[in-house]
Amino acid sequence: MKGKKENDVISQRNTLINRMKKNVHRDWDLYLLLIPGVIWFLMFCYKPMVGLRMAFYDYNIFRGYEGSEFVGLANFREFVTGPDFLRTVKNTFNIALWQILICFPVPIILAIAITEMKNKFVSKLTQTATFLPYFISTVVVCGLVVNFLSPSTGVINIILKKLGFEPVYFMVYPQYFVAIYTIMTLWQTAGFNSIVYIAALAGIDPQLEEAAVVDGAGKWKRIVHVTIPGILPTVVTMFVLNIGKMVKVGYESILLLYKPTTYETADVIATYAYRVGMQNRNYGLSTAVGLFEAVVALVMVVAANRVSKKLTENTIW
């Protein structure tokens, strides 16, 4: 009996191997196209994970792991009990909340508006105009924001002066930072993010739209009862995928925009990790902060996926 089971296992394994060989032989060109993407993921997504053990060391770049002291969870305790923990976590979730409330739904509205436009020229022009900012370098975009808000030569302050108001140095006041960052992110990403929803709208069965017209439904009712339900699975999927990204909140832009005077509202977990690692040379603590951020993102994605499963029955896994 035991020999028969072993033979069955060997037979199944050989069958699986033969099937894989046939698939590779048949679709070799597709697998060839897949190789660059796999190499990219291995090099930039999986290989850096080896360095996560740095979070458990008082790491010295000259002595390496062998010469650095193993400190266990000391770096995590230092971050959690430190004076910057509550501020960075609060700022991270505050900015992420604004991203979810504003930057997530606007591309959906934009996609519906572009699709529903009667004038195709205006529709294409709108799509192109909102799509192009995504390809402008983040450094350039942040430079534009700083110039627009300059107290002496900025367009916004020139308008304020014309209206009789005093110029405001927006970039040094913490109360303005979240609004500035949210508007900048929205302008840069709304058009690009809307492409997914435009594709989803194109996949809706036209007969549903025609049936709604026959039933006397106006444009608003067709959007509510046909368009939105038709793209809901895509919306849910994109929401769950974006939840994890929200924790990072585009820290590259924040690094270029914030100043010590705006740390109160602008300093997030990712920027704190950057300062600790690159400026203070505390690589162990910096890695621990980054790992903490990754764990928070994972928890948020899993929670969002479960909530989505209960409410809409649409999930990623």
Distance of CA 272 to the CA centre of its chain: 18
Domain membership flag for residue 176: yes
**Model confidence over 85-131: pLDDT tens digits?**
999 999 998 998 898 899 999 999 999 999 888 888 999 999 999 99
Q: Which two tokens stand for residue 232?
A: 């809901």
Q: Which CATH number belongs to the domain containing residue 240 in this structure? A: 1.10.3720.10
Query: Which is it for strands 69-70 and 57-58: parallel, antiparallel or unpaired?
Result: antiparallel
Domain membership flag for residue 150: yes
**Model confidence over 13-43: pLDDT tens digits?**
778 888 888 888 888 888 888 899 899 988 8
Give the pLDDT confidence score for residue 5 in this predicted structure. 62
Tell me the whole-structure pTM to 2 decimals.
0.82
With tokens 């009667």, the residue in question is 118
> pLDDT (tens digit, 0 to 9) for every residue of the chain, 317 residues total?
555 666 666 777 778 888 888 888 888 888 888 899 899 988 888 888 888 889 999 988 888 888 888 888 999 999 999 889 999 999 998 998 898 899 999 999 999 999 888 888 999 999 999 999 999 999 999 999 999 998 888 889 999 888 888 888 898 999 999 999 999 999 999 999 999 999 999 888 888 888 888 888 888 888 888 888 889 888 888 888 888 777 777 788 998 998 888 989 999 998 999 999 888 888 999 999 988 988 888 888 888 778 777 767 666 66
Domain that residue 166 falls in: 81-311
Under 8 Å between Cβ of 292 and 215:
no
Domain membership flag for residue 6: no
- What total number of domains does the chain contain? 1
Domain membership flag for residue 4: no
Helix (H, G, I), strand (E, B) or coil at 150: coil
Domain membership flag for residue 46: no
Domain membership flag for residue 103: yes
Domain membership flag for residue 279: yes
In angstroms, rounded to a whole number, what is the distance separating the alpha carbons of residues 107 and 114? 10
Under 8 Å between Cβ of 115 and 204:
no
Domain membership flag for residue 67: no
